[in-house]
Structure 1
């Protein structure tokens, strides 16, 4: 598939009531929650920004509970993958309408980052991403002195090559901050332990990228588990791994936030 591997979880409807607020950052919609000088930018999966995007806003709220200021911008600008639509060949066509440059790049570096620093006094910024959002983290991480670290859940980094004609090695070779990747069992080999991505990160010329980057795989989970695996159906493995992945992310942010 263009983005999500075969067997990926479909959209998830929840009754969760978010406790943050929707704001405007210039002309960009965003969900904002929490406070503090440590800020996290959350980049969602293909289902986007709205209340139909599984647990995306719930995860933002959980991160805020851990002491972070959290913002989830609507990088898709209202054009998320439709809930209930099957994963078909049109997904690639749709995603190709949102390359990193110029709009998404501008949304991050001209809108969101200055907003966090100037309006909220953010001293350091990390980034959490899911599926497509994990690819965005790698792109943002190529700019020096922006992110302290990145955490990617079930990453779909292959779109750099399959959709945008780039090179995985070149994209990862440009990363300037440490990365934690948490692939599911059906994610591609390139993002698994011993795969292309971690191998390239561990060969970085930047010491803190080499030393800090790591992978923690969740082989019992399917792509999308962090936002779209149901937690209320008695599957103890899902509850175990969603909880573990969240804790790993928080611990990683606490360790590396503040370093540039």
Structure 2
């Protein structure tokens, strides 16, 4: 059930971005095998080994090339949790023109040092994968790179995953997720629509 809700919420986020005039693609980085916490035969560590976040760039490159071959003049990317590593790597390689990380995981301060495109990072106050202390370190690194436009915000009273794994029947959860989605879209509007 959580996977179905997650899929529906991801689709709604993609639709929100598309409603702002963007052609949106959502590649399957997990090759049809998203993590399922209910599968007791496949622990997270095993799944993660088979779905290394550092290898997502290899899936993303042909997608970006296809978009550009179809006339896309600029490409923006958003990474939620696991996807933050892929988005960061794309920004380091300058394969995209703007990036957004939402409750990122699997990235380091050194990764952020290498980013070469405008980047927004939206973190959660309650997050063990990227705690506020780490998000503040990201901000410090980005502040030292004024040539790269950046935005960093830690959302109070939310937990890791709040932008994609929220209860659509909880008005407060929906409100906080919508705030993050608006920042993401505004970031793309700023850096992709010229």
Does TM-score exceed 0.5, indicating one fold?
yes
Partner Cα distance (2:164, 2:93) in 1 = 28
Aligned to 2:78: 128
Task: Tell me the distance in 1 between the aligned counterparts of 2:173 and 2:53.
Answer: 32
**Contact in 2 for aligned 1:54/1:228 (Cα 8 Å):** no
SS state at 1:228 partner: coil
Question: Which protein has greater RCO, CA pairs closer than 8 Å, 6+ apart?
Answer: 1
Report the TM-score when normalising by structure 1.
0.66
CA distance in 2, matches of 1:54, 1:220: 24
Tell me by how many angstroms 1:189 deviates: 2.6
Matches of 1:133 and 1:176, distance apart in 2: 17
Instruction: Find the counterpart in structure 2 of residue 81 from structure 1.
Output: 35
CA distance in 2, matches of 1:242, 1:253: 17
- Indicate conservation of the 8 Å contact 2:53/2:85, yes or no: no
* 1:11 and 2:2 are equivalent in the alignment: yes
Alignment length (residue pairs): 190
The CA distance in 2 between the partners of 1:83 and 1:99, in whole Å, is 17
Partner of 2:147: 208
Matched with 2:181 is: 246
- Find the residue that maps to 1:196 and give its secondary structure: helix
8 Å CA contact 2:30, 2:51 repeated in 1: yes
Moved over 2 A (4+): 10-14, 83-86, 96-101, 103-106, 189-192
Using the TM superposition, give the Cα deviation of residue 191 of structure 1 relative to its aligned residue in structure 2, in angstroms.
4.2
> 5+ unaligned residues in a row in structure 2: which ranges?
none
Distance 1:243 1:77 in 2: 28
Partner of 1:139: 89
**Residue-by-residue CA offset, 1:120-164 (whole Å, 9 max, x unaligned):** x100000111111112211111112x21111111111xx24xxxx
CA contact (8 A) 2:124 2:158 kept: yes
In terms of fraction of residues, the more helix-rich structure is 2
**Tell me, what secondary structure is at the counterpart of 1:115?**
helix
Check whether the contact 2:162–2:173 (CA below 8 A) recurs between aligned residues.
Answer: yes
Q: Which runs of 5+ in 1 are unaligned?
A: 1-9, 15-51, 161-167
Contact kept in structure 1, 2:57 and 2:86, CA below 8 Å: no
Instruction: Tell me the equivalent position of 1:218.
Output: 155
Residue in 1 that maps onto 2:98? 149
Does the CA contact (< 8 Å) of 1:130 and 1:154 recur in 2?
A: yes
Is 1:231 equivalent to 2:168 in the alignment? yes
Tell me the C-alpha RMSD between the 2 structures.
2.4
Structure 2 match to 1:41: none
SS state at 1:141 partner: helix
Checking the alignment, whether the CA contact within 8 Å between 1:11 and 1:84 is kept in structure 2 is no
Residue 70 (structure 1) aligns with: 24
